[in-house]
Amino acid sequence: MAGRPRMAIGTHGDIHVKRLAPRRYRARCRVRDADGKVREAKATSRSRNQAKAVHRERLKERLGFGASGLLSLSSPFPDLANLWLQELAGRDIANNTKENYRDDLRVHVMPFFEAYTLGEITTGRVETFLQQQYAVSYSMAKHSRTLLNQLFKFAIRNDGMVRNPVEATPPLAKPKGKPQALTPEQIVAIRKAANEWRTGPGVKGPSPMATCATRWR
């Protein structure tokens, strides 16, 4: 018989509140700390709701609770985005490049991923997003892929993710350009340019058109 699913590091179970005495309540739950061990956490207060609220605040401040970095698998994607933007601001790169990253994050990436936690962002979801971008523009999808790659590498460095979901997505194939026939006007312009090339004063040798005529004889 399968046992209870194991909690992820940095998460806690349901919070239960018990009345201990008049105007005295205790909230408690099981937590899994950064060292992988499951422990019981408690907090007391004067009302049921206050006990829960105090308990939640203490969980956030708990020494060793959650990841040891700035992020965890339960962190919302916007938290990652905000931290990464702070790092981006200090990079020694062109301001135009920074602005492009900010715009792409705000306009394209954030609307798709903002409701996910980092642990919910899978390779499949990333690929779905990139394919939607690719259907609009190859360059848009390529730039978004580069941006996501940087975001998730930052998350890994700060304990928010254990792997980069972008790395397993297939490469984006660059669309082949469609050959286009020259217009009559373009053909006339090319012939005119060829006829006038190297025909100025002081240019030695036969003209290009004369050379062509000689070869055809």
Please answer whether residues 147 and 112 qualify as being in contact, where contact means their C-beta atoms are separated by less than 8 angstroms.
no
Give the model confidence (pLDDT) of 198-213 as tens digits. 566 665 655 555 555 5
Same domain, 85 and 146: yes
The answer to whether residue 51 is domain-embedded is yes
The answer to whether residue 204 is domain-embedded is no
Supply the pLDDT for residue 182: 73
Same domain, 115 and 54: no
Please answer whether residues 47 and 26 qualify as being in contact, where contact means their C-beta atoms are separated by less than 8 angstroms.
no
Same domain, 56 and 27: yes
The answer to whether residue 68 is domain-embedded is no
Considering 104, 134, 157, which residue would you say is the last residue of a domain?
A: 157
Supply the pLDDT for residue 187: 77
Q: Closest by alpha carbon to 104, among 70, 71, 72, 136?
A: 136
Supply the pLDDT for residue 141: 94
Q: Which two tokens stand for residue 123?
A: 């390779």
Burial state string for 68-85 with b = 16 or more CB within 10 A and e = fewer than 16: eeebbbbbbbebbbebbe
The contacts found for 208-217 with CB under 8 angstroms, 24 or more apart, are: none
Supply the pLDDT for residue 32: 85
Q: Closest by alpha carbon to 42, among 31, 64, 27?
A: 27
Same domain, 57 and 81: no
The span from the CA of 15 to the CA of 52, in Å, is: 7
Same domain, 134 and 98: yes
The span from the CA of 87 to the CA of 89, in Å, is: 5
Supply the pLDDT for residue 2: 58
Same domain, 44 and 82: no
Digit-by-digit pLDDT tens for the chain (217 residues) are 456 677 877 788 999 999 999 999 999 999 887 677 888 999 999 999 999 999 988 887 664 444 456 888 888 999 999 999 999 999 899 999 999 999 999 999 999 999 999 989 999 999 999 999 999 999 999 999 999 999 999 999 988 888 999 999 999 988 886 666 778 887 777 777 767 665 666 656 555 555 555 454 4
pTM higher than 0.85 = no
Same domain, 88 and 142: yes
Give the model confidence (pLDDT) of 126-135 as tens digits. 999 999 999 9
The span from the CA of 19 to the CA of 188, in Å, is: 94
Instruction: Count up the domains in the chain and report the number.
Output: 2
The span from the CA of 82 to the CA of 151, in Å, is: 10
Element (H, E) at 21: strand 16-21
Distance of CA 34 to the CA centre of its chain: 25
Domain, as residue range, for 56 = 16-61
Distance of CA 33 to the CA centre of its chain: 27
For residue 124, what are the CA distances in angstroms to 102, 118, 128, 130, 167?
24, 14, 6, 10, 11
Same domain, 85 and 153: yes
Supply the pLDDT for residue 66: 46
- According to the 3-state scheme, what is the secondary structure of 28-97? EEEEEECCCCEEEEEEEECCHHHHHHHHHHHHHHCCCECCCCCCCCCCEHHHHHHHHHHHHHCCCCCHHH
